[in-house]
Amino acid sequence: MSEKEVEIVLCVPGPWVDRSDLVERIVKDSEGYIFAGMILMQMETNQSFELEFESSDERMLSAFEAAGPHWNNSPEMDLISSHKSVCYLISKGGSIESAHSIMKAANALLKAGGLGVKVESTGLAHSPKDWGEQCEYSYLFKSHSSYVVYVTSDETYSCGMHNFGLPDAIINSADSDNPSELLRAFTHYILSESPDINDGQTFSVDSEAPKYKITKCPSIDYGENTLFNNPFGMWKLYPLGKKTNKSMLSDWFYAPLQTIRKCCR
């Protein structure tokens, strides 16, 4: 899996009138980063990220509103329309470590005046406050909220687990009373616990909740030249009927729902 190519791209609009302004603000306020050439570097760790600096984009507010409905109509969202320029942070993804490292780099840009973060490789936008909290508690896998979104129609599926180097998940929406929350629990579990999952094993959010059979399936094809595609595949969850052979339940995963809810938004 580690050989599969995944690129993480984070969009950070800001008030910087030109490149020199951005360089100065990073040195002054980012707490340990410098910007030289096209590289943003953390001085203590020497971790580096490609940074593309571009002029303002009149579509930015509408893009953030579409990707961040949970903070629409807030003062923070309104500020997006005032941006003077845009930073695009780019890094190889596909691991928890790389996903967390570029999160911290984006947070450095927020400290330097950035107005929000949009995860281009998921289609999810966050306010500066939320992003800062997700970085602070990344050791509790709060980063799950940073990168993973859930889409519901006839099927409900996740998008964004590829940023961590993990499969996404899908379920027929009619197979759960709350399919988004079920997948949120499942994907958070495989991120935080790194279980060794095989076809035919089962999952439940607690000992009394319905159990679901886990089956490997192909990823959703979002088309060419998109950052959404997941080369690590998907897990599909099927409900176990009352007449399911008990031997199928001999190896099942239990993720305490209360613990998960403390870590997920």
Give the pLDDT score at 248: 32
Where do the structural domains in the chain lie, given as residue ranges?
7-145, 150-263
Mean pLDDT, rounded, of the chain: 90
Q: How far apart are CA 206 and CA 122, in angstroms?
A: 29
Residue 218 burial (C-beta neighbours within 10 Å; 0-12, 13-18, 19+): exposed
Give the pLDDT score at 5: 87
Q: What is the mean pLDDT of residues 6-11?
A: 98
Higher pLDDT: 3 or 84? It is 84
What band does 36 get if pLDDT is binned at 50, 70 and 90? Answer: very high
Give the pLDDT score at 107: 98
- Half-sphere exposure in the Cβ direction for 198 (13 Å, CA): 3
Give the pLDDT score at 59: 97
Q: What is the mean pLDDT of residues 243-260?
A: 35
What band does 246 get if pLDDT is binned at 50, 70 and 90? Answer: very low
Span 22-32, pLDDT tens digits: 999 999 999 99
Global pTM reads 0.88
Q: How far apart are CA 13 and CA 16, in angstroms?
A: 9
For residue 128, pLDDT over 80 is answered with yes
